[in-house]
Structure 1
Amino acid sequence: MVRLVVMTDTTIAVLVGSLRTDSVNRKLAELLAEQAPEGVTVDIVDGLGAIPFYNEDIDNPRDVPASAAALRERVGAADRVLAVTPEYNGTMPAVLNNAIDWLSRPYGAGALVGKPFGVVGATPTPYGGKWAHEDAARSARIAGATVVEDVTVSQSAIEVDVLTDPDVLDRLNRAVRTLAEYEPATVAA
């Protein structure tokens, strides 16, 4: 059972799966930040391209790369996490996969553990990034996140301008609201 709560000062950390400056998914993330519901801060986490590929040899308490430590801190401080991503060759982009790898460590205590997580995005394919979104959700779940299934929006950008279409923007904004309002059900003892 899931219950929705009134939002007060909720922060959603956003991981954009595209590094391209003019990326449609980056623009979607920016629109979602501008249109966030009252009481919700949508915080786009920049710098994912500067984070080295995950490697246990460089992930140690004394010497974690500053960019990876900053990612962990930023996501760890957020209440929720949203991936806004395209699909590359039928899966999530390497930059998003790498971010999730860094956020999954230390195992069982990473920055994603227990965080409600959602994924949305658009691609110029008939399925709108469905496989990338499934991969991101699976990876985040394995990393300890609580994937909120009602948040997933895989939007085809073939015949619609995803940045201006009112129906698309409404679905994306509802996804953000659902993620912000999500609270896991409590189990009665």
Structure 2
Amino acid sequence: MTLSNAPPVRHVLCLAGSLRRDSWNRRLLGVAAAHAPATLHLDVCGGLAAVPMFDEDLEQHEPDGPAGVRSLRASVAAADGLIIATPEYNHAMPGVLKNALDWLSRESPQGEVLVEKPVAVFGASAGPWGTRLAQASLRQVLHTCGALVMPAPTLFIANAAARFDENAALVDPATAESLQRFVLAFEQWMARVAPAPARPQAALAMAR
């Protein structure tokens, strides 16, 4: 039997805080996933639309949560880390993202899945501020939920529409380089705060 010295592949779940199919943040997560190093597997999640509004009555009726919540919670629990890309709505994170975090902060058969979970945050907007206030509010919520939020580097992408061509391909080299540095920094952050090896791929597939 030959033992491999190759480093483990870490699984990172990527959440876009927007339901819009062609959102800038979802596109940037796709770019990050396509160009991630071989030691990282980035999986862009599209399940926030299936998560109902948080309601304690639903918890009493379904102790494990509705189906959309169970699916999202299992995916977060199975991941080695979480990257969240948020737009900014009215100087704050979108309601759909806050709602998902409220569900994820609750007790479940998997425990509180955000506690001690390595998380990185960035954001893109069509305006000039690059989601600075949204990221600040998001970080506050994540800290409250017990997540291990990467403090730096930060990534605020303004004027997002100008960074893509008509085919939705990223054409701005500076943004691509910043995104790559961000992902590599998060890999180092995960190794620092959660050095355990990645979970088996079979377990990850069951969680999707």
**Alpha-carbon distance in 2 for matches of 1:112, 1:69:** 14
**For residues 1-189 of structure 1, what are the structure 2 equivalents within 5 Å?**
8-60=8-60, 62-106=63-107, 109-157=111-159, 160-161=162-163, 163-182=170-189, 183-184=192-193
Partners of 1:92 and 1:132 within 8 A in 2:
yes
User: What SS class does the counterpart of residue 14 from structure 1 fall into?
Assistant: strand
**Alpha-carbon distance in 2 for matches of 1:57, 1:43:** 31
1:59 Cα deviation after fit: 2.1
Runs (4 or more) in structure 1 with deviation over 3 Å come to: 60-63
Partners of 1:88 and 1:132 within 8 A in 2:
yes
Q: How many residues align?
A: 180
**Alpha-carbon distance in 2 for matches of 1:58, 1:88:** 27
CA spacing shift, 1:158–1:27, aligned 2, 3 Å? closer
1:4-25 CA distances to partner (integer Å, 9 max, x unpaired)? Answer: xx96211111111111111111
- Higher mean C-alpha displacement, 25-34 vs 155-164: 155-164
Normalising to structure 2: TM-score of the pair?
A: 0.80
**Alpha-carbon distance in 2 for matches of 1:131, 1:83:** 15
Q: Which of the two has greater strand per residue?
A: 1
Partners of 1:133 and 1:152 within 8 A in 2:
no
Q: Which has the higher contact order (CA 8 A, sep 6+)?
A: 1
Q: Which has the larger radius of gyration?
A: 2
Partners of 2:124 and 2:160 within 8 A in 1:
no
**Alpha-carbon distance in 2 for matches of 1:51, 1:164:** 33
User: What SS class does the counterpart of residue 168 from structure 1 fall into?
Assistant: helix
**Alpha-carbon distance in 1 for matches of 2:8, 2:136:** 29
Q: Which of the two has greater helix per residue?
A: 2
1:53 Cα deviation after fit: 0.9
User: What SS class does the counterpart of residue 184 from structure 2 fall into?
Assistant: helix
Normalising to structure 1: TM-score of the pair?
A: 0.87
**Alpha-carbon distance in 2 for matches of 1:33, 1:144:** 26
1:62 Cα deviation after fit: 3.6
Q: Which amino acid aligns with 1:47?
A: G
Q: Which amino acid aligns with 1:87?
A: E
User: What SS class does the counterpart of residue 149 from structure 1 fall into?
Assistant: coil
User: What SS class does the counterpart of residue 11 from structure 1 fall into?
Assistant: strand
1:167 Cα deviation after fit: 1.1
**Alpha-carbon distance in 2 for matches of 1:83, 1:102:** 16
CA spacing shift, 1:8–1:22, aligned 2, 3 Å? same
